[in-house]
Amino acid sequence: MVTEQETDKRTESAQVRLLGPDDRDQFLALAGRDPVVNVFADYRARVTNLEPRWLGGEVWGRFRGSTLVAGCHMGANLVPVGCTADDMAAFADRALSRVRSTATIVGPHEPVAAFWDVVGDRWGPPREARWRQPHLQIDTDPAVRPDPLVRLTTRDDLPALYPACVAMYTEEVGVSPESGGGKDYYRARVQQLISRGWSFARFDEHGRVVFKAEVACATPYAAQVQGVYVHPDHRGRGLSVSGMAAVVELVRRRVAPTVSLYVNEWNSPARAAYARVGFTESARFSTLMF
């Protein structure tokens, strides 16, 4: 026979609610259990203070008593934080009570798969599913000589840099970031990364981008790199290796002590390049795009 006290404990252990500024410290402590894997959610909490109006979405928490045990960033990106399969089932129930607004589900493979097991039939097939992406990180000097021509970009570089960013995004994601009227937003995002000192590139003698990469998000503990791109005319020459070595050196000196990224499992050339730089695998991610 289940007692009333046991019922209360079960209800308490399954409590899911919206987080706000008062929960910021607990959420940062939760993310801090794996600060490299959780860098996106950690960064978002720091810059928005968990205010929904700044998040452009919500962050949910699962509690046992008054202790936060799991989190879920629910916006354009749905990202689990410190979640077990059971936590994700609870978040999935909450997600199904509203209209899907997320464009991407991304995070460690096990919680993403658990979430999708619950919502997949209702949300319909993703445009693309990348189930086992190696998550890589480095917290030492690069293992190869950095390209001395890779540098921080400036506002004056925008006319050359922006087309390279569009080309990389389109090649990687399969749709242009300018589609659906997104040009102004995406251009502003590239300008923002430049202004933060999070954009790095090498240019040829004609001012064309040869190699580029950006920091997508950063905390005092880690920075996540995105947008790694070598111009098609320059591929196969090892520029991604020396270029990423330069990015690692610059990011570790200027932004955060650990550099991370995740890469498609099938992208053997990129994986080999990152290994030569000194990146090691620390997790497997899954990304579902709608």
Q: Cα–Cα distance between 120 and 75 in angstroms, integer?
A: 18
Q: Residue 57's closest CA among 15, 104, 125, 90?
A: 104
| Domains delineated in the chain | 4-124 (3.40.630), 138-284 (3.40.630.30)
Global pTM exceeds 0.85: yes
Output the pLDDT for position 3. 47
46-89: pLDDT as tens digits: 999 999 889 989 999 999 999 999 999 999 999 999 999 999 99
Mean pLDDT over each residue of the chain, to the nearest integer: 93
Q: What percent of the chain has pLDDT over 90?
A: 89
- Over residues 20-35, mean pLDDT: 98
221-231: pLDDT as tens digits: 999 999 999 99
Structure tokens at 88: 């994700």
Q: Cα–Cα distance between 281 and 60 in angstroms, integer?
A: 28
Q: Residue 273's closest CA among 244, 251, 250?
A: 244
Q: Cα–Cα distance between 261 and 254 in angstroms, integer?
A: 17
Q: What percent of the chain has pLDDT over 70?
A: 95
Judged against a pLDDT cut of 50, whether residue 10 lies above it is answered with no
pLDDT band at 12 (very low <50, low <70, confident <90, very high): very low
Output the pLDDT for position 13. 53
Q: Cα–Cα distance between 100 and 85 in angstroms, integer?
A: 20
Judged against a pLDDT cut of 80, whether residue 11 lies above it is answered with no
Any alpha helices (H) in the chain, and if so which ranges?
A: 4-13, 24-31, 39-48, 52-55, 85-95, 109-123, 158-173, 183-196, 239-254, 268-277
Which of 81-85, 110-114, 115-119, 123-127 has the least mean pLDDT? 123-127
Position 178, amino acid: E
- Angle, vertex CA 196, rays to CA 260 and CA 35, nearest 5: 30
Output the pLDDT for position 100. 81
Q: In what helix (H) or strand (E) does residue 262 lie, and over which residues does it extend?
A: strand 258-262
Output the pLDDT for position 7. 38
Judged against a pLDDT cut of 50, whether residue 270 lies above it is answered with yes
Q: Cα–Cα distance between 13 and 17 in angstroms, integer?
A: 12
Q: Cα–Cα distance between 185 and 70 in angstroms, integer?
A: 32
Judged against a pLDDT cut of 90, whether residue 4 lies above it is answered with no
Output the pLDDT for position 98. 83
Judged against a pLDDT cut of 50, whether residue 9 lies above it is answered with no
